[in-house]
Chains A and B, each alone.
Chain A
Amino acid sequence: MATAYPMPDAAKVKQMLGLLFDGLEVKPGKKFDIVPPSGCWVGLYVADNGAPVAACVVDVALAANASAALSMLPPGVAKDAAKSKDLTDVMIANLREIMNICTRLLMNDGSAHLRLAELYPSKAMPADVTKVLGAVQGRVDFELTVPKYGPGTMAVVST
């Protein structure tokens, strides 16, 4: 089904996020649950009029691994965070920046503009996020492996 924004493939995710994480591996992934108990994190993207239009969702493992890797926190910190499903403030700030960069996965010169509005843990997803996730026209899932840290999954969804 046609989406308002271009959906990325694995090559684009690798090209973009590989600049942040040297040696990043990306391949198409299986659909995973985006529900509050999963511990996933959701970056909500809005159009210029403020309307929610897309989201990037990462499972707790990728949230922990990528956010720790961005500022080279010890891999053990990521493992503890994934186990407890609880990121530190530094990791949350890092994940927000990663979600900010992921806006570029959904834009090209011919597409409409969007920006990151907020980052939410799945346990605190507000109605805006639930609405976007419930009205998804397109979804692509990926398996990522962050060198020295570990794997995780990501979904990019668009209305």
Chain B
Amino acid sequence: MKIMIVDDSAAMRMIVKKTLRQAGFEGHEISEAEDGAKALAAIQSSSPDLVLSDWNMPNMTGIELLEKLAAAGVKVKFGFVTTEATTDMRTRATSAGAKFLISKPFTPESFKEALGPHIN
């Protein structure tokens, strides 16, 4: 499975990768992007199966990325890994088509619970 991690923090991308392994999701092809704009181009060219995206990023936010993917007709499983954890933000994410929202900071257990239904 091809998984793309989108976050402007290199340390957080590393932590997300480590947590994926700790949650038992190993052996997948992982790619990274450092903001929504770069992710949009990368998703359109490499067609990942799943995108794990931060919300607040420079150039293009995660929610803007999700909306642009939908507008472009790109079909990809998309979820947030973000500090935006309020009910309002969860509702906004779901309305835009996000499959899940994992709040930072997170645990391997929260990854298992959110990603289990979406990772082979």
Q: Give A residues with C-beta under 8 Å from B.
A: 16-17, 19-20, 70-71, 90, 93-94, 96-97, 100-101, 103-104, 107, 109, 113, 115-116
Most buried by A among B85, B86, B106: B86
Taking a contact as CB atoms closer than 8 A, the residue among B84, B87, B88, B106 that contacts A19 in the complex is: B106
CB-defined contacts of B31 to chain A, threshold 8 Å: none
> Which of the residues A19, A109, A116 comes within 8 Å of B105, measured between beta carbons?
A19
Give A3 Cβ to nearest chain B Cβ, in Å. Answer: 18
Contact B10 A96, beta carbon cutoff 8 Å: no
Identify the 7 closest CB pairs spanning chains A and B, nearest first. Answer: A19-B105, A97-B9, A71-B11, A70-B11, A94-B11, A20-B105, A103-B83
The minimal Cβ–Cβ distance linking A66 to chain B, given in whole angstroms, is 11
B106 near A97: Cβ-Cβ < 8 Å: no
If the complex has contacts A71-B11, A94-B11, are A113 and B88 also in contact, measured as CB distance less than 8 A? yes
The 8 A CB mask of B61-85 against A (1 = contact, 0 = none) is: 0000000000000000000000111
Closest Cβ–Cβ distance, residue B11 to chain A (whole Å): 4
Q: How far does the Cβ of B12 sit from chain A's closest Cβ, in whole Å? A: 5
- Please name all residues of chain A whose beta carbon is closer than 8 Å to the beta carbon of B47 when the two chains form the complex: none
Residue of B12, B14, B56 touching A115 (CB-CB under 8 A):
B56
